Amino acid sequence: MSTLKVQNLSVYIEDKPILNDFSLEIPYGEVHAIMGPNGSGKSTLSKALAAHPNYDIRNGTAELDGHNLIDMEPDEISRAGLFLAFQYPIEVPGVTIANFIRAAIQARMEESKLFKAVDYYKKLYQKMDDLGIDRNFTARSLNDGFSGGEKKRCEILQMAMLDPKFCILDETDSGLDIDALRVVSAGVNSMRSSNRGFLVITHYQRLLDYIVPDKVHVMWEGKIVRSGDKDLASELESKGYDWIKEELAA
Amino acid sequence: MIIDKKNPATTPAFFSEDYFESFASNHSWEPGWLADLRKESWATLQENELVSLKDERWRFSPKSRLGYSHFKSISESSNSINLDPASGSPQNILNTVDNILLDNPDLIADFAEIQGPNLGATQSYHLTNTYFTNGFFLKVSGIQNQKLHLLVNHTCPEERFVTFHKNYVILDDFTEVTLVENFISENVFSQGGLSNLTHFKIGKGAKLNRILIQNMAEGTSFHNLENFDLHADSLVVNVQCHLGANQSRIETKGNLLEPGANFENFSFVSGRGKQLFDQRTEQYHFAPHCSSNLLAKNVLQDEAKSIFAGLIKVDPKAQQTNALQTNRNLLLSRDAEADSLPGLEILANDVSCTHGATTSRLNQEELFYLLSRGIEKKSAESLISLGFLEEIIGKIQDEELTQRIREMVYTHFK
Ligand SMILES: Nc1ncnc2c1ncn2[C@@H]1O[C@H](COP(=O)(O)OP(=O)(O)OP(=O)(O)O)[C@@H](O)[C@H]1O
Ligand SMILES: [Mg+2]
């Protein structure tokens, strides 16, 4: 069974260590959640795996389905099957959602194959309807002037269109209203399958009531310090992080 | 005489007195006023040789690239202009300048006095006035029931020939027209030149929607000089798309002559390789209560270079002027270069004029976002650039045309 396998990863930003000997393994078919205080390195993990140029990986390995992510360019990693739904999606003025997703799909197509616009729009509209995104959004510039929740939905739309092998959702729930949380979670759940893995980063147990994880990890100062089942999320929700801090100190 | 002093052997024949004289005699069928114009222009060319080299109007420009000494000769092909639909109805006339000179030269005579744009390219200007052998003439007179949509193709000659076009556009009062002009080459290997001079007279309440698309072969030279005279309450929306030619000098001047006139001038450049785009513009407010708006956006990759020099000029009596001028440049490579010279010359006190220029590099976060979706770097750059230019392309109200232009820009990155 193939997995996302991260071992002993150390990541620096401008010579400051953020991830520190980080290890995590997620088999396909499973959903893992990472929770952890602000600044503990959750987004750093996700962006480092996606090969953001500001994140300097100095040690460790990261493998997806046999691909060594460490040596790959961001676009290669994406085409290899990793999808990252960003915590803060970037605004790209003048590039419409429709053209953007189209370019991403075309980048995955064999040269000889012909892009079929009709099929593309049919699928796009279907996914937009599922996620409660107005069809007019296809003509809007990517994330440009979108509300926080609209940006998050747009991330999930991209994920649904690109059919990745492994998805990282970085605080996709923050910014979503109550109804949107349900709709987006349903979208994610419909993509759960035995040959796809998920890493869900969140601060709130509420999301994990909808997207029920197989495992929950707690991240602290760039490391996983505790792992458990979904009850760990409830425990954190009621007790906060202090008890973990105390346990670590002890 | 203007010659390449370092390499006089390559001076093209059309700079010689003999050549001009034989040209003039071949054109002796033309009306006398035109013969006079050609003669005066020729004489001015000779005098201009003494103009000092330090000319603000050429600041930042590698002027030698925009000269004429590398051309072999003039191409006088009548195929260099193609009109669609050519028309001779009294409602609107669209024809070649040759045909008008034969059939109805008085139509053009009115233009003999018009000068401009005169933003520095004096050699091109006088050479074109001396040697133009083709061009188009458009006069819109009647109010149309349906939208008038006209197309003019200018073809740059092959090898190292240069063609001079002079064009005339008249919109009578309250008329409206969309004019699309394509500038293309005979073939992709062309190293020819096209020098194009156009006078626009926009009557009271008239509306001109003009789209210029320059996609000539990359070895060519392009000189485009245009002068718009706007009368009361008229509107010009001018959209220029520059993609081709190895070097271009582009001069655009809008004269707001009577109250209520509105001049909207939008342009983009998509430059690659060693392309040079030297753009000079002027929004000249003579009359009160006029507005003008200019937005020039340039995307440059490889070692491409652009120069934008724009001036807003407001006469003392042009109160209540509203004038805007913006130049934005996006550089995709370390060696690309964009120079910007915005300028104001305001002699009235009750006006609102602003100008600004910015040059930026590709936003790395935007790029990463596109890459993280599997889009290859080149495609990502072209998508972002196209997005940057969308503000200009979006001004064209013709979905088919905008789609074609987007494709052209997109392939410019391959
Ligand atoms: N570009 C940067 N320059 C300097 N420090 C940075 C940069 N980006 C992140 N950091 C630091 O790295 C640490 C980890 O940040 P990260 O964004 O990974 O945290 P997080 O766990 O995602 O937090 P949150 O829950 O608030 O999203 C923080 O201390 C942050 O300030
Ligand atoms: Mg974060």
Strands, DSSP E only, in B322-373?
Answer: 322-331, 337-346, 352-361
User: What's the confidence (pLDDT) of residue A28?
Assistant: 87
User: What's the confidence (pLDDT) of residue A247?
Assistant: 85
User: What's the confidence (pLDDT) of residue B84?
Assistant: 82
Query: Which residues are near ligand 2, the ion (C-beta closer than 5 Å)?
Result: A 42-43, 87
Nearest to B308 by CA among B250, B383, B368: B250
How many Å apart are CA B233 and CA B174, to the nearest integer? 9
Question: What DSSP string describes B123-141?
Answer: HHHHHHHHH--B-EEEEE-
Estimate to the nearest angstrom the gap between the alpha carbon of B278 and the chain centroid.
11
Taking an 8 Å cut-off on Cβ atoms, the answer to whether B369 and A93 are in contact is: no
- Domains within chain A, CATH numbers bracketed: 3-90+163-238+240-244 (3.40.50.300)
Does residue B114 carry a pLDDT above 70? yes
Average pLDDT for B103-112: 85
User: What's the confidence (pLDDT) of residue A114?
Assistant: 87
User: What's the confidence (pLDDT) of residue A248?
Assistant: 84
Taking an 8 Å cut-off on Cβ atoms, the answer to whether A94 and B388 are in contact is: yes
pTM of the model: 0.91
To the nearest whole percent, how much of chain B has pLDDT over 90? 80
B3-17, B113-127, B225-239 — which is least confidently predicted?
B3-17
Q: Give the confidence band of B11 by pLDDT, cuts at 50, 70, 90.
A: confident
User: What's the confidence (pLDDT) of residue B50?
Assistant: 54
Higher pLDDT, A100 or B6: A100
Estimate to the nearest angstrom the gap between the alpha carbon of B397 and the chain centroid.
20
Average pLDDT for B263-272: 98
Q: How far is the CA of B368 from the centre of ligand 1 (A)?
A: 17
Backbone CA torsion sign across A147, A148, A150, A155: positive
Question: What is the pLDDT of chain B when averaged over all its residues?
Answer: 92
Q: Which amino acid is at A222?
A: G
User: Minimal Cα distance from A84: which residue of B?
Assistant: B372
Ligand 1 pocket residue status of A238, Cβ below 6 Å: no
Contact residues for B13 (Cβ-Cβ < 8 A; gap 6+): B19, B73
Residue ranges per domain, chain B?
8-361, 363-414
Q: pLDDT per residue over B365-399, tens digit each?
A: 999 999 999 999 999 999 999 999 999 999 999 99
Low-confidence ranges of chain A (pLDDT < 50): 1
User: What's the confidence (pLDDT) of residue B245?
Assistant: 97
How many Å apart are CA A103 and CA A96, to the nearest integer? 11
Contact residues for B107 (Cβ-Cβ < 8 A; gap 6+): B93, B100, B137, B139, B168
Which residue's entry shows tokens 């072999």? B72
Q: Give the confidence band of B2 by pLDDT, cuts at 50, 70, 90.
A: very low
Contact between B307 and B278 (Cβ < 8 Å) = yes
Question: What DSSP string describes B186-253?
Answer: SSTT---EEEEEEEEEE-TT-EEEEEEEE---TT-EEEEEEEEEE-TT-EEEEEEEE---SEEEEEEE
Which residue's entry shows tokens 């001009």? B20
User: What's the confidence (pLDDT) of residue A119?
Assistant: 94
Q: What is the dihedral of CA A211, A215, A220, A224, to 10 degrees?
A: -140
Q: Give the confidence band of B78 by pLDDT, cuts at 50, 70, 90.
A: confident
Contact between A183 and A131 (Cβ < 8 Å) = yes
The preferred substitution site among A11, A18, A55 for testing ligand 1, maximizing ligand atoms within 8 Å of CB, is: A18
User: What's the confidence (pLDDT) of residue B131?
Assistant: 96
A110-114, A189-193, B324-328, B352-356 — which is least confidently predicted?
A110-114
To the nearest whole percent, how much of chain B has pLDDT over 70? 95
Ligand 1 pocket residue status of A40, Cβ below 6 Å: yes
Q: For residue B60, count CB atoms less than 10 angstroms from its CB and return exposed for 0-12, middle for 13-18, buried for 19 or more.
A: middle
Terminal CA-CA length for chain A:
38
Q: pLDDT per residue over A37-64, tens digit each?
A: 999 999 999 999 999 999 999 999 999 9
Predicted ipTM?
0.96
Ligand 1 pocket residue status of A44, Cβ below 6 Å: yes
Ligand 1 pocket residue status of A46, Cβ below 6 Å: no
User: What's the confidence (pLDDT) of residue B3?
Assistant: 46
Average pLDDT for B195-223: 97
